[in-house]
Structure 1
Amino acid sequence: MMKAILIGATGLVGSEILKQLLSDTRFSEIHVFTRHSTEISHPKLREIIVDFEKLTAWETQISGDVLFSALGTTLKQSGSQQAQYRIDHDYQLQVATAAKKNGVQKIVLISSASANPDSKIFYLRMKGQLETHIAALGFDKTCFIQPGPLEGPRNHPRLTEKISLALLHCLPKIPGTEKFWPIKAADVAHVCIESAVKEEKGIDRLDPKEIFAQIKKK
């Protein structure tokens, strides 16, 4: 059985990953590093409350078989692009670097459809840069999950997001437009976990088309 590490466990996708890991018999332990408690009690769960600005105080505890990296925030919540970059890029890269140093062999990162380090769009450029920097760490297995619009219960629901998702649901499901199709966070979590248990080595990128293909195999 595998030991999983998870950051971002209170977020939309991260909370679904945690839920599914706890019920997955292929995983014996789940170590969650989080700023706020998940309020979950389970014999497989070890929750460590941390300050991501003080990684050196707890980085030696980041050990296991696979790191699920689902940490993130919004521009509105963070207050500035610089602050969002600090959380979405820097924190995740620093944890991944420590994990690699401690012998973790696999990483599954929640990225974004159209992530590109050269994008003119800040969010997509940030995600693309993070992918580039994570790939350079040289994990035995690196998997970038690149979903489109996410559906599920959010801690901070936004009206504009609800409207956008409703409109996107009205669009016909035309092949080639998968990056615009809303996808359930629970389905993304399922794909993350299945990617983690595969034995293949190297770098794998699952774009929306590939994610939906994996979901159909459930």
Structure 2
Amino acid sequence: MHLILTGATGLVGASVLDNMLAQESISRISILSRRPVKMAEGHEKAKVILHKDYKTYDKALLEELKDANGCVWAQGVSQNAVGKDEYIEITHDYPLAAAKAFSTLHPDSPFAFVYVSGEGATQTPGMFTPIFGRVKGQIETTLFEFGKQTSNFKVYNVRPGGVDWTSHPEIHPFMPKQDLYKKVLVPPLNLVWKGLMTPTQPMGRIFTELAMSKGEPLQGSGIEMEGRLVRNSAIRRMAGL
């Protein structure tokens, strides 16, 4: 089993990479990254491919990825860290370009694409919907529609809630430094609104398993968009939480 991962130096990506490294059935992990990934060092099955332009996938790169079964697209950025145009490019244009490229890897067999969105994304934005909710909702719809038009491309839009890394010590040396307010808020939120939180360890497992799957539509509570949208409540349910 060969999987592709982006965003490996981020919090969600680190949790996914930790699970991928532990999965014996995964023989190869192709990590697309702008910079080295410390967590991958010393692991023979993990190869970091330094990739600068996420809107372009040349023939040599696609040849290297040709037998990949799926991808977890965990790359992302806070809406507060960049301007609006750059946020749209990273959040919408990058994953769409990747979807189009990866769908050509093996057109006659399924390719599972797990797009990490987030609770707050919406297909029906209102006057006060923040930019992240609008843009993530747009790319969820765009990927869904692309999947309907491309028979082998099987998308899952996954929406984690408040990402909780506190009980996942394996990723602590590799994850980005978290803002002080997050460190302060996560423990009480786990007590008061536990159902809104997404622990990284089971989250990484669920996202990995979806990327390893044949991409069949999901069912059950918290599943929308014809089995292609996985809300946080469904992530928790699938993780047994």
Same fold (TM over 0.5): yes
TM norm structure 1: 0.85
Residues 21/164 of structure 1: CA separation in 2 closer, same or farther (3 Å cut): same
* Alignment match, 1:214: 238
SS in 2 for 1:137: helix
Q: In the TM superposition, what is the alpha-carbon distance from 1:59 to its structure 2 partner?
A: 4.8
TM norm structure 2: 0.77
Q: In the TM superposition, what is the alpha-carbon distance from 1:102 to its structure 2 partner?
A: 2.2
Distance between the aligned counterparts of 1:209 and 1:142, measured in 2? Answer: 19
Distance between the aligned counterparts of 2:55 and 2:94, measured in 1? Answer: 10
Q: CA RMSD in A?
A: 2.2
1:94-109 residue pairs with structure 2 within 5 A?
94-103=97-106, 105-109=111-115
Conserved 8 A contact 1:145-1:206:
yes
Distance between the aligned counterparts of 2:186 and 2:146, measured in 1? Answer: 35
Aligned residues: 209
**Identical pairs, percent:** 23
Out of 156, 160, 169, the residue aligned to residue 147 of structure 1 is 160
* Alignment match, 1:134: 143
1:1-218 residue pairs with structure 2 within 5 A?
2-39=1-38, 40-52=41-53, 55-57=56-58, 59-60=61-62, 61-63=64-66, 64-78=68-82, 80-103=83-106, 105-119=111-125, 120-138=129-147, 139-152=152-165, 153=172, 154-171=175-192, 173=194, 178=195, 181-199=196-214, 201-202=216-217, 203-216=227-240
Q: In the TM superposition, what is the alpha-carbon distance from 1:146 to its structure 2 partner?
A: 0.9
Which AA in structure 1 matches 2:228?
D
Distance between the aligned counterparts of 1:56 and 1:199, measured in 2? Answer: 24
Q: In the TM superposition, what is the alpha-carbon distance from 1:129 to its structure 2 partner?
A: 0.9
Distance between the aligned counterparts of 2:112 and 2:73, measured in 1? Answer: 11
Residues 156/81 of structure 1: CA separation in 2 closer, same or farther (3 Å cut): farther
Q: In the TM superposition, what is the alpha-carbon distance from 1:25 to its structure 2 partner?
A: 1.4
For residues 70-124 of structure 1, give each alpha carbon's deviation from its aligned partner in whole angstroms, at most 9, with x where no partner exists: 000113332x122222112211221121111223611111111242133222111
Which stretches of structure 1, 4 residues or longer, exceed 6 Å deviation after superposition? Answer: none
Q: In the TM superposition, what is the alpha-carbon distance from 1:32 to its structure 2 partner?
A: 0.7
Conserved 8 A contact 2:69-2:211:
no
Higher relative contact order (CA 8 A, sep 6+): 2
Conserved 8 A contact 1:70-1:110:
yes
* Alignment match, 2:224: none
Gaps of 5+ in 2: 166-171, 218-226
For residues 165-211 of structure 1, give each alpha carbon's deviation from its aligned partner in whole angstroms, at most 9, with x where no partner exists: 344234255xxxx3xx2222222111112223334524432211111
Distance between the aligned counterparts of 1:167 and 1:128, measured in 2? Answer: 29
Which AA in structure 2 matches 1:66?
G
Conserved 8 A contact 1:31-1:45:
yes
Distance between the aligned counterparts of 1:75 and 1:109, measured in 2? Answer: 17
Distance between the aligned counterparts of 2:16 and 2:213, measured in 1? Answer: 16
